[in-house]
């Protein structure tokens, strides 16, 4: 074939020459090397030929293959994220970031939301169906139709955005869930660089739809989404705004909450400036729910809100099932301890867990803690507090506290940390863990429990005589400046059984008891019984006998008396029964530990017998011995008071300790800053009485753990014995030989009534056989059963020779004129003076007098 000619037009130009190429370098290069490729006739001939059709098909196949392998590569690249959407991983990721504290019966005490954002998890069956419908209506109305992505939804979102009517985005609920869980840090990138993130979002959304059913996806979305402020998850929103669980939300409440996640900062109900927008959105949500057939049009109209109001007090805000005039009420902004029951108790538990597991781990949330507290006992304590506060208000004291311990286990079952958790200044401070001087409430632990223990030589029991006398010389250790003294309200009473001394809380016999034991031994026994914070620095002095100089913690004081109630055996103080970490693993469980027998069961029984004896304390309080606190109807209790004073003589602390075979309680009142007051003994006694009555009646008796008026079991070996005609109970190791008393003949002047001396005339002497011992502290002679009209004092030269007529009984005017060999009946000479023991004692700082 010859060379193809160009057709010449009338203007002299060819057809091809009129096809002008753009001034692009690559086209010029292509035209130079393949001049016919860009000619229109050639292009038309190529594309409409078999060869052109084959080229199109081949190009399409290659393009599709490239796209397929590109998508496959992207899918394989992002496959590393698929492991994170397994049911286990998703559950761990969308986890409860609150710590939940429960009582021993699994009653929720507190959801600790920390100080930052928090999430409260709700299972699928714990979320109202209204909430599910509402969130689908307002966020993804095609949710039940698509498989993770919605083309129609995306187109609709674009159209509504263009027309200015946008109320929802183009992403499905599933995509939003993926974005929140995996892509939160990248979600802000919406430019070209955000395309990989969008691809990941689509891939993972499809995969989530493959793994989970629709209801699971909604549940995860509702648990992950923000609901304003610090609150994440539908349960946190329901609890914060309405004080109820997500399952109990009404239609109006559900629609309002579902309207928040689209813009949680703007639609936060506490952001009152935008409440109008939240109200509009809630109404619109109801309209869409009706449009989709979830609810009727009538229900939608009836549940539209017109106004958002706030309750004045959180506990007073309970929404009705139906709106009243379109007004919905929400609770005030929640504090950290909103809804906390026993707040002092749970905060102490949190501190213990932070010490054990670390602050960061605990505050990350997700822990489940089962505590020892019994909500029934706690409610009894709080009811008792109400009555006690009435009496407290009549005094100049401003604070009161109480701790109660289960005797068998050492578990804390109730705590009153202050007069009220909301009290200004000090209300949130837990007084049960403060160091407070115990006053006379310590005597049975420091003084008499050690004294009643078996020892070589003289032993002691409730029936033993420990003389009440002036011991300032021994107590003050040479300090005669007048700044030191030991006294009681009562006058010196002389020979007195320990039963009466302890029951009436006399100070001088208590100090003697500590001197016999040694202060270090008294401190050791007290600490090992449970008061571990007592005298932790190791310093000792005689004022410890009357509760001055070292402090106890109320909760430890209760457990120390629980040790007496369990027969002298110590059990560690316990607040926690079980701890489960955020992964669901049990990391701590309470198991009973072997008891440490600190004192013999007989010793513990003797102490309890004294403190439960109404007749023994009658000399102190008279008819009050059967009044509230001292006597609890239907309950055997051992009780002891304690009072301390300031340096100016004002009262500072009032205590009342009360324990039974099953419960031990220590109650305290005073001023939070330790300043003086006029006494609050009635208030603290009322608190202990009402609580002990209720906790036995409502908890221990119904459970069969206590029977009416049940006292402690009497240990074997306890027996009755008399000292000088005083019959009482004694431990098995005591007999007449180790009481310290022996029968001796004692001569008295029958005319003066005094003990005979070397100057007493023989004709004036009368002899009696009396029990006698030497006081181990003062060295004075102690005689029992001295006949009426006679006294311990000896005759002296001024009186010993006087007879009834005033005539010298033997004819001699004075001792110097008496013959040296005159016959005088033998006089019982007193034994040598015994130096008071000093073990564990030592110097004694100036101590204000402490009464009972």
What pLDDT is attached to residue 545?
93
Taking the C-alpha atoms of residue 766 and residue 27, their distance in angstroms, rounded to an integer, is: 151
Taking the C-alpha atoms of residue 96 and residue 92, their distance in angstroms, rounded to an integer, is: 9
Q: What pLDDT digit, counting tens, does each position of 670-702 carry?
A: 999 999 999 999 999 999 999 999 999 999 999
Q: Is 150 within 8 Å of 172 (Cβ atoms)?
A: yes
> Low-confidence residues of the chain, pLDDT below 50?
1-19, 166-168, 187-188, 190-192, 314, 316, 320-321, 479-482, 805-852
Token pair recorded at residue 503: 């029951």
What pLDDT is attached to residue 813?
40
What pLDDT is attached to residue 337?
74
Taking the C-alpha atoms of residue 401 and residue 117, their distance in angstroms, rounded to an integer, is: 33
DSSP 274-319: GHHHHHHHHHHHHHHHHHTTSS-HHHHHHT--SEEEE-SSGGG---
Strand spans (E) along 11-107: 99-102
Q: Give 642's contacts (C-beta < 8 A, 6+ positions apart).
A: 438, 439, 440, 441, 442, 547, 653, 654, 655, 656, 657, 852
Burial bucket for residue 666 (CB in 10 Å: 0-12, 13-18, 19+):
buried
Residue labelled with tokens 């490239």: 66
What pLDDT is attached to residue 196?
66
C-alpha dihedral, 69 to 72 to 73 to 74, nearest 10°: 130
The kind and range of the H/E element at 174 are helix 173-182
Contacts within 8 Å (CB) and 24+ apart, 171-174:
171/201, 172/140, 172/142, 172/143, 172/146, 172/148, 172/205, 173/135, 173/136, 173/139, 173/140, 173/143, 173/217, 173/218, 173/221, 174/143, 174/148, 174/149, 174/205, 174/208, 174/209, 174/217
Residue 303 to residues 310, 431, 571: CA-CA distances in angstroms? 18, 48, 57
What pLDDT is attached to residue 258?
94
Give the side-chain half-sphere CA count within 13 A for 330.
23
Taking the C-alpha atoms of residue 153 and residue 107, their distance in angstroms, rounded to an integer, is: 45
Closest CA to 415 of 374, 469, 459, 455: 374
Q: What pLDDT digit, counting tens, does each position of 88-132 carry?
A: 666 666 667 789 999 999 999 998 877 677 788 888 899 999 999
Distance of CA 442 to the CA centre of its chain: 25
Q: Is 97 within 8 Å of 232 (Cβ atoms)?
A: yes
The kind and range of the H/E element at 669 are strand 663-670
Sign (positive or negative) of CA dihedral 424, 429, 431, 432: positive
Q: Is 794 within 8 Å of 755 (Cβ atoms)?
A: yes
Token pair recorded at residue 582: 């955020």
Strand-pair category, 118-119 with 663-670: unpaired
Angle (nearest 5°) at CA 314 between 311 and 318:
70
| 3-state secondary structure (DSSP) of residue 66 | helix
Q: Is 555 within 8 Å of 405 (Cβ atoms)?
A: yes
Residue 302 has φ and ψ, to the nearest 5°, of: -70, -20
Token pair recorded at residue 727: 């019959």
Taking the C-alpha atoms of residue 260 and residue 282, their distance in angstroms, rounded to an integer, is: 9
The single-letter DSSP state of residue 258 is H
Q: 7: left (phi > 0), else alpha (psi -120 to 50), else beta?
A: beta
Q: What pLDDT digit, counting tens, does each position of 167-203 carry?
A: 445 688 888 888 877 665 554 454 445 566 677 778 7
Strand-pair category, 586-589 with 576-580: antiparallel
What pLDDT is attached to residue 45?
66
Token pair recorded at residue 604: 């513990």
C-alpha dihedral, 194 to 199 to 204 to 209, nearest 10°: 120
Q: Is 316 within 8 Å of 341 (Cβ atoms)?
A: no
Q: What pLDDT digit, counting tens, does each position of 619-652 carry?
A: 888 888 889 999 999 999 999 999 999 988 899 9
Q: Is 573 within 8 Å of 412 (Cβ atoms)?
A: yes
Burial track 754-792 (b if 16+ CB lie within 10 A, e otherwise): bbbbebbbeebbeeeebbbbbbbbbeebbbbebeeebee
Angle (nearest 5°) at CA 376 between 372 and 377:
65
What pLDDT is attached to residue 340?
86
């Amino acid at each position: 074939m010859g060379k193809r000619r160009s057709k010449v037009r009338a203007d002299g130009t060819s057809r091809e020459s009129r096809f002008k190429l753009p001034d692009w370098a690559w086209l010029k290069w292509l035209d130079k090397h393949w001049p016919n490729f860009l000619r229109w006739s050639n292009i038309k001939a190529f594309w409409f030929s078999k060869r052109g059709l084959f080229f199109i098909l081949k190009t399409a196949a290659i393009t599709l293959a490239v796209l397929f392998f590109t998508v496959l590569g992207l899918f394989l690249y992002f496959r590393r994220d698929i492991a994170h959407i397994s049911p286990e991983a998703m559950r761990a990721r969308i986890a409860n970031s609150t710590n939940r504290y429960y009582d021993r019966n699994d009653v929720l005490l507190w959801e600790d939301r920390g100080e930052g954002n928090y999430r409260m998890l709700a299972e699928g069956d714990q979320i109202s169906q209204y909430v599910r419908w509402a969130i689908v209506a307002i966020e993804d109305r095609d949710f039940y139709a698509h498989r993770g992505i919605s083309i129609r939804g995306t187109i609709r979102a674009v159209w509504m955005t263009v027309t200015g009517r946008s109320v929802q985005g183009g992403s499905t609920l599933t995509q939003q869930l993926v974005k929140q869980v995996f892509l939160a840090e990248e979600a802000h990138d919406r430019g070209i660089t955000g395309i990989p993130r969008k691809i990941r979002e689509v891939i993972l959304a499809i995969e989530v739809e493959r793994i989970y059913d629709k209801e699971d996806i909604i549940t995860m979305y509702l648990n992950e989404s923000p609901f304003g402020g610090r609150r994440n998850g539908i349960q946190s929103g329901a609890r914060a705004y309405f004080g109820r669980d997500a399952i109990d939300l009404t239609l109006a409440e559900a629609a309002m909450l579902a309207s928040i996640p689209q813009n949680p900062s703007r639609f936060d109900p506490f952001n009152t400036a935008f409440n109008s927008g939240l109200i509009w959105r809630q109404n619109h949500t109801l309209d869409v729910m009706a449009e989709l057939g979830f609810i009727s049009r009538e229900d939608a109209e009836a549940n539209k809100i017109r106004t958002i109001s706030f309750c004045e007090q959180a506990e007073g805000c309970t929404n009705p099932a139906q709106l009243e005039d379109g007004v919905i009420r929400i609770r005030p902004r929640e504090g950290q301890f909103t809804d906390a029951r026993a707040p002092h108790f749970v905060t102490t538990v949190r501190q213990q867990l932070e010490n054990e597991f670390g602050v960061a781990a605990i505050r990350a949330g997700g822990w489940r803690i089962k505590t020892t507290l019994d909500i029934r006992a706690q409610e009894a304590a709080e009811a008792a507090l109400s009555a006690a506060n009435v009496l407290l208000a009549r005094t100049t004291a401003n604070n009161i506290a109480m701790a109660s311990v289960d005797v068998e286990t050492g578990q804390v079952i109730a705590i009153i940390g202050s007069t009220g958790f909301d009290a200004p200044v000090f209300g949130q401070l837990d007084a049960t863990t403060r160091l407070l001087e115990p006053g006379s409430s310590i005597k049975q632990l420091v003084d008499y429990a050690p004294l009643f223990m078996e020892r070589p030589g003289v032993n002691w029991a409730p029936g033993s005589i420990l003389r009440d006398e002036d011991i300032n010389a021994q107590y003050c250790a040479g300090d005669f400046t007048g700044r030191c003294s030991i006294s009681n309200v009562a006058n010196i009473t002389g020979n007195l059984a320990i039963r009466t001394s302890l029951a009436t809380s006399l100070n001088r016999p208590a100090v003697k008891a500590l001197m016999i034991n040694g202060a270090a031994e008294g401190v050791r026994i007290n600490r090992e019984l449970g008061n571990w914070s007592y005298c932790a620095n190791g310093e000792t002095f005689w004022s410890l006998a009357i509760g001055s100089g070292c402090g106890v913690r109320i909760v430890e004081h209760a457990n120390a008396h629980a040790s007496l109630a369990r027969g002298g055996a110590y059990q560690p103080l316990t607040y926690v029964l079980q701890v489960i970490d955020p992964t669901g693993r049990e990391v701590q469980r309470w198991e009973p530990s072997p008891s440490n027998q600190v004192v013999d069961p007989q010793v513990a029984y003797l102490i309890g017998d004294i403190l439960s004896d109404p007749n023994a304390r009658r000399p102190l309080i008279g008819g009050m011995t059967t009044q509230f606190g001292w006597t609890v109807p239907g309950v055997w209790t051992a009780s002891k008071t304690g009072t301390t004073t300031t340096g100016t003589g004002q009262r500072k602390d009032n205590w009342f300790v009360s324990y039974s075979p099953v419960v031990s309680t220590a109650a305290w009142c005073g001023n939070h800053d330790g300043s003086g007051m006029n006494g609050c003994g009635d208030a603290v006694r009322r608190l202990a009485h009402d609580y002990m009555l209720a906790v036995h009646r409502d908890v221990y008796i119904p459970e069969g753990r206590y029977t009416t008026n049940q006292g402690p079991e009497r240990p074997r070996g306890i027996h009755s014995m008399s000292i000088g005609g005083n019959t009482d109970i004694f431990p098995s190791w005591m007999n007449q030989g180790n009481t310290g008393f022996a029968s001796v003949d004692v001569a008295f002047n029958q005319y003066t009534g005094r003990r005979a001396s070397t100057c007493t005339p023989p004709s004036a002497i009368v002899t009696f056989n009396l029990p006698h011992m030497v006081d181990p502290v003062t060295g004075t002679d102690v005689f029992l059963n001295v006949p009426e009209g006679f006294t311990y004092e000896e005759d002296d030269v001024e009186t010993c020779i006087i007879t009834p007529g005033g005539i010298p009984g033997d004819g001699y005017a004075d001792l110097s004129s008496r013959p040296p060999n005159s016959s005088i009946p033998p006089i019982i000479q007193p034994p040598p003076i015994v130096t008071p023991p000093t073990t564990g004692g030592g110097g004694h700082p100036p101590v204000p007098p402490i009464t009972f």
